[in-house]
Structure 1
Amino acid sequence: MIKVLNIISDSNIGGAGKCLLNFIKYYNRDEFEVKVVVPAGSLLIPEIEKLGCETISADCIAEKSFDKRAVRILQSIIKDEKPDIVHTHGNLSGRVAAKICGRKIIYTRHSVFPVSPKISKGLGKFINKTMNEFLSDDIIAVAEAAKDNLTEGGISPNKIKVILNGVEAVEECSEDEKNNTMEQYGISRDDFVIGIMARMEPYKGHKYLIEAAEILKSKGYKIKVLMAGTGSCEGELKSMVMEKGLQDTVVFTGFINNVQNVLNIMDIQANASYGTEATSLALLEGMSLGIPAVVSDYGGNPGVISQGENGYIFKLKDSKDMAKYIETLITDREKYEYMSERAKEIFNGKFTAQIYAANIEDVYRNVLGGKGSHDKKEV
């Protein structure tokens, strides 16, 4: 039995936490024993334990990559648990503690963002490379763009494995459920529904979708834009919608508990990110239902959407280019149906939670040379 101790710093449930939950649901329990170290009081705790996996609460790790006190706490946990592998999700304290304890270390980079010149040049780059390679036996990047971030910081490409995120397929709702959701958001049967599921932060690019909606409405298309979520620029976006007279076109849903219901009434998904985007879980969930997407050419988006296959990729921060591709999907029904089928095919062949879990298991086996220390036969 290979013992794996995951360490995650998230108090809330973000992308890294969702990926971990998907792995926990589908990993091979006959071969692996998995436990998770989480911040005390994390919202992940009940979700992990629901899946029959043990959690260990730790102080000083919440929303922190490194803390000297956390190193001592995690060192004590690792000594008690005696795992074969310590798998950290952005947590440097965990890697340091695991190194001190002589354990195999895997580090997953879940994010994509512009790399600071402090670690992309000169001495800073050398230090970043040396530290990360010393503190990791294997590094997982969740998108090619995440790998590019790491290599820009000096880390050898040979040290990094790209493992794309995977999600559970979203179930299709009944017609009654769809009708109820459409009624809730003021959507009629002849509306073409464009949805964006992202935190309302400037770098998620919601304003470009609003500008694209203005262009499409001016051409007479009957569209509804669902903006699902909340964030720091929600007020600014609502003001923008008012100024452009798009109150009858753009719908702010606020925080939604049931993603399934909202996804089920979308014709396409949009993603306009320009500042941080790895492998969007929302795009993957939409693909499982056959929802094509129109996305920016940033971060992990081109690793999920293949141009002309399961969606379109538009030029960064270019609302006219975005509107052009949305218009194609509104007007060309044959193309839309083709993309819808391809979205399902690509999802099932590449992005399921089961595929993701199997890929992570392969990393675990490989880092141990094929088996865990606890599987060694007595001689």
Structure 2
Amino acid sequence: MPEYTLGLFANMYPAFDGDYKGIFIRQMVTDFESLGVVVKKAVKTSHSTAGYIPFYFDSLCLSRDRGLDLIQAEYIPHSSLIPYLFGRRDIPLVLKFHGDDARIYPFSNPLNRHITRAMLKRAAYVITASEEMQKPLLAHGLDPDRCATVHTGVDTRFFTTGSREEARRLLGLSMEKTTFLFVGRLHPWKGIYEILEAARRCPNLDFVFVGPGVVPDHPQNCRFTGQLPPSVVRRWLTAADCFLLPTYTEAVPAAVMEAFACGIPAITSDAGGCPEIVEEGKNGLMVPARNAVALTSAIQWMTDNPSERPRMGIEARKTVCERYDHTILIKKLMTIHQDLITR
């Protein structure tokens, strides 16, 4: 017998292996199914705006499905709009906020504020990807007794420690040079230009960027690989000395969790949920967002203290295994679901 049947709505879902859009949502679905939950999906796999037409049609059909025990929408209000308007009222609706849908969207204009408040009022429960994300939602009517922080987490058996020397040999990297790695979309909000400025200030260091997007002007010590499958991303994480994410806005970042699971420290900004995973001096360093000078100083410290990096890497993996392993978090989410269903 299945545990229960979940209707999942997500406007970002990977269309192929190596597609980063919503990859953590696909991991969540896989985890649910491995534990006996039946997941019926309405998902947008296309990157184009036109992809919303079939997505909303599928959402309408799924919203009325009589076989569901629970509905969960990822990203608000893009994925929750149809369940909110047409979803069954006899089963719980769970909203999951991932980042800008909590921090930026509700404050953009009065209409967005009204929509967010209506969604929160309708929801039986609210999930946020980081603790700090709940603060702006409280101003819009979030009930603190009907919310929890549950990140999707990371597969610590897949993203794990390995031979740095072997990974560097396979990737054709120098064994001597200190290498800093960024993984994610090449978007200004991720702090890309601050990393590029730091690279210009540190010509003796190597900087590698893994992920989709338009390659910006860059100094010679920067390398852009484009989008890569997870197995190759893991190899880059194993080969690197330190991970970089000087983001302007973020939940608890999945890329940092993956880096930590592979046993390397990180330098992140102090924005969003980064302080919830990065502990200054223990498993990484934090710098102010939009501050290339501070980022350069942190990069230089990591370079000048090579004996500290392995120690921080050990603590980094410990952090993820104890708090962000996907098997721990999916069971926490299932407990919330089952409690809602049996009320």
TM-score range, shorter chain: 0.7 to 0.9
Aligned 1:33-112 pairs, distance under 5 A: 33-39=38-44, 42=45, 64=52, 74-90=59-75, 91-96=79-84, 99-112=87-100
- Please give the residue correspondences for 1:299-318 in structure 2 after superposition, counting only pairs within 5 Å: 299-318=272-291
Structure-2-length-normalised TM-score: 0.84
**Bigger Rg, structure 1 or 2:** 1
User: Taking structure 1 as reference, are residues 16 and 213 closer, same or farther at Cα in structure 2, changes over 3 Å only?
Assistant: closer
Change (3 A) 1:30 1:202: closer
Which amino acid is the alignment partner of residue 182 of structure 1? L
Residue by residue, what CA displacement relative to the aligned partner does 1:27-80 show, whole Å, maximum 9, x if unpaired?
A: 3756532222224xx379xxxxxxxxxxxxxxx99764xx8x976753433434
Match of 1:54 in 2: none
- Is residue 2:158 matched to residue 1:158? no
Q: Secondary structure at the match of 1:231?
A: coil
CA contact (8 A) 1:74 1:93 kept: no
Q: Are 2:223 and 1:251 equivalent residues in the alignment?
A: yes
Spell out the pairing of 1:1-379 with structure 2 (5 A cutoff): 1-10=3-12, 12=14, 17-27=22-32, 32-39=37-44, 42=45, 64=52, 74-90=59-75, 91-96=79-84, 99-112=87-100, 114-115=103-104, 125=113, 127-128=114-115, 130-169=117-156, 170-173=159-162, 177-183=166-172, 187-217=173-203, 222-232=204-214, 234=215, 237-238=216-217, 241=218, 246-247=219-220, 249-257=221-229, 258-274=232-248, 276-369=249-342
Over residues 178-222 of structure 1, what are the superposed CA-to-partner deviations in whole Å (9 max), with x where a residue is unaligned? 144431xxx3111101001121112111111122223333xxxx4
Q: Is the 8 A contact 1:16 1:89 kept in 2?
A: no
AA of the residue aligned to 2:190: K
Counterparts of 2:56 and 2:294, CA distance in 1: 48
Percent of pairs identical after alignment?
A: 18
In 1, Cα distance between equivalents of 2:334 and 2:82:
20
Matched AA of 1:178: A
So what's the TM-score if we normalise by structure 1?
0.77
**2-side partners of 1:11 and 1:23: how far apart?**
11
- How many residues align? The count is 330
Contact persistence 2:165–2:175 (CA under 8 A): no
Q: Shift of residue 103 of structure 1?
A: 1.9
Distance 1:15 1:250, change over 3 A: closer
Q: Which runs of 5+ in 2 are unaligned?
A: none
Gaps of 5+ in 1: 45-59, 371-379
Contact 1:61 1:70 in 2 (8 A): no
Measured in 2, the distance between the counterparts of 1:97 and 1:20 equals 23
CA contact (8 A) 2:186 2:192 kept: yes
Q: For residues 174 and 103 of structure 1, do their structure 2 counterparts lie closer, same or farther at Cα, with a shift above 3 Å needed?
A: same
Residue 85 of structure 1 contacts residue 105 of structure 1 at CA under 8 Å; is this kept in 2?
yes
What is the Cα deviation at residue 11 of structure 1?
Answer: 5.3
Contact 1:129 1:155 survives alignment (8 Å) = no
Structure 2 CA distance for aligned equivalents of residues 255 and 283 of structure 1? 17
Report the Cα offset of residue 327 of structure 1.
1.8
Cα deviations by residue, 1:134-174 (Å, 9 ceiling, x for unpaired) = 32111111012332342344433433211123011214455
- Matched to 2:8, the amino acid is N
Aligned amino acid, residue 246 of structure 2: A
Structure 1 letter corresponding to 2:7: L
- Equivalent residues of 2:206, 2:222 under 8 A apart: yes
Q: Which deviations, in whole Å up to 9, do the C-alpha atoms of 1:108-138 show, x marking residues without a partner?
A: 11223652575677x864x345411232111
**CA drift at 1:368:** 2.1
Give the whole-Å Cα distance in 1 for the aligned partners of 2:326 and 2:201: 37
Give the distance between the partners of 1:191 and 1:358, measured in 2 at CA.
42
Q: Secondary structure at the match of 1:366?
A: helix
Q: Which runs of 4+ in 1 moved over 6 A?
A: 69-72
Distance in 1 between residues matched to 2:58 and 2:164, nearest whole Å: 52
Secondary structure at the aligned position of 2:137 is classed as helix
Q: Check whether the contact 2:211–2:228 (CA below 8 A) recurs between aligned residues.
A: yes
Q: Give the SS at the match of 2:132.
A: helix
Distance 1:9 1:129, change over 3 A: closer
